[in-house]
Amino acid sequence: MQNMKKIAIIDYQMSNMFSVENALKHLGFEPVITSDKSIILSADGAILPGVGAFGEAMKKLKDLDLINSIKEFIKSGKPFMGICLGLQLLFSESEEFGNAKGLDVIKGRVDAFSKHREIRRIPHVGWNKILPGDSYMYFVHSFYANPIDKKAVATTTEYDGFSFCSSVLQNNVYACQFHPEKSGPKGLEILNNFFK
């Protein structure tokens, strides 16, 4: 039991942390939901989850003094994962409700699906395939991440004929627009492989 890896789930009061916590427990990790900087920095891995509006989330991270802790953790080289809004917050900026600055860990911006005429149903909700591969993951979002460095794109997904970046991998940072914790065995496999 002493070899269990401690994974900090960063609590900034804007996410469904308990489904992530349950998934990690199921995989044999030791998840800790926290906004305590010392606990985050001492963890073996960290997850930035999230549901909601980009600008409000950045304000919460600032108010809780978590921005530098997140950047410091990433600089440590330990595995860091962003999920859904947590992916988007890692980018330089978002056009959601005007323009809001992000954490700028990954250069690029978060754009609205509504800019694309071919997309008829917003938000994008439900199961969809990630490429490469044949795995289906669960999505809920109206915005998508657009990295400047296309080499950072780990997977893409097609929605209403529009292909968007559904996950990124940059050094020790993996972030996905889908919810691996809600995506069955394949989603759990992603969580397990990344933190193992």
Catalytic site residue from 158, 165, 181, 189:
181
- The C-alpha atoms of residue 57 and residue 97 are separated, in whole angstroms, by 12
Q: Is residue 165 annotated as part of the catalytic site, yes or no?
A: no
Catalytic site residue from 72, 96, 179, 189:
179
Catalytic site residue from 84, 96, 141, 165:
84
Q: Which of 192, 180, 189, 175 is nearest to 28 (CA)?
A: 192
Q: For residues 67-84, b (16+ Cβ closer than 10 Å) or e, as one string? A: eebbeebbeeebbbbbbb
Q: Is residue 176 annotated as part of the catalytic site, yes or no?
A: no
Residue-by-residue DSSP string for 53-94: -HHHHHHHHHHTT-HHHHHHHHHTT--EEEETHHHHHTEEEE
Q: Is residue 189 annotated as part of the catalytic site, yes or no?
A: no
Q: Which residues are catalytic?
A: 84, 179, 181
